[in-house]
Amino acid sequence: MLQMKGLFSAMLFALVAVCTPSMAQDSGWYAGVGLGSSKAKGACDGVTGPGISCDDTDMAYKIFGGYQINKNFAAEFGYTDLGKAEASVSGFGSASIKATGFEVVGVGIMPINPQWSVYGKLGFFRWDAKLDDGTGLIGSASASGTDLTYGVGVGWNLSKNVALRAEYQLYNNVGDEDTTGQADVSVMGINGIFRF
């Protein structure tokens, strides 16, 4: 009977340990990677005609690091590749606009419970845009600049050191209107985070 009671207590303890929500760290360094789908709004506007096709969506990724100051605020720095928008002209080839850059953002976090949180981010994106003209119709060009980036998301703490984020982020005015073309690029993606 005593053995049965001890076994029951051990099983109950294990069940409670498994079901207890994971706690996120309130402060400390972290690193992460993100993968998502980008859309360059307006990149295909006016690109129409017989034998012409345009795709303004692509895969995007980011590598970033940050410091969580407290449970409600963090600062992040990262490198982001927004992918490219590409137009093809039958008989001439294709032209594409690709954008990459570095971002610095502040992250405001609102914990819902120990496992879940919602957050918003706001900061700057230092972009480099490159137009590769394979058609020979308009000419290649490049440009760089700095503009706003902001986003919202939901965080899920898998453990004290590992978390996932689902987020939507917008990068304003990427590219030069007169040379490479300009677009607001949005990214829907998933980020994995490891806390040190």
pTM for the model stands at 0.82
Q: What is the pLDDT of residue 97?
A: 92
Mean pLDDT of the chain, nearest integer: 88
In this structure, the number of other CB atoms found within 10 A of the CB of residue 62 comes to 20
User: Are 86 and 96 within 8 A, CB to CB?
Assistant: yes
Q: Give all domains of the chain, ordered by start, each with its CATH number.
A: 27-195 (2.40.160.20)
- Dump pLDDT digits (tens) for 64-105: 999 999 999 999 999 999 999 998 888 788 888 999 999 999
Which has the higher per-residue pLDDT, 186 or 13?
Answer: 186
Residues 6+ apart with CB under 8 A from 169: 121, 149, 150, 151, 153, 186, 187, 189
Work out the average pLDDT over 110-138.
92
DSSP symbol at 47: -
- Dump pLDDT digits (tens) for 36-48: 999 999 888 877 7
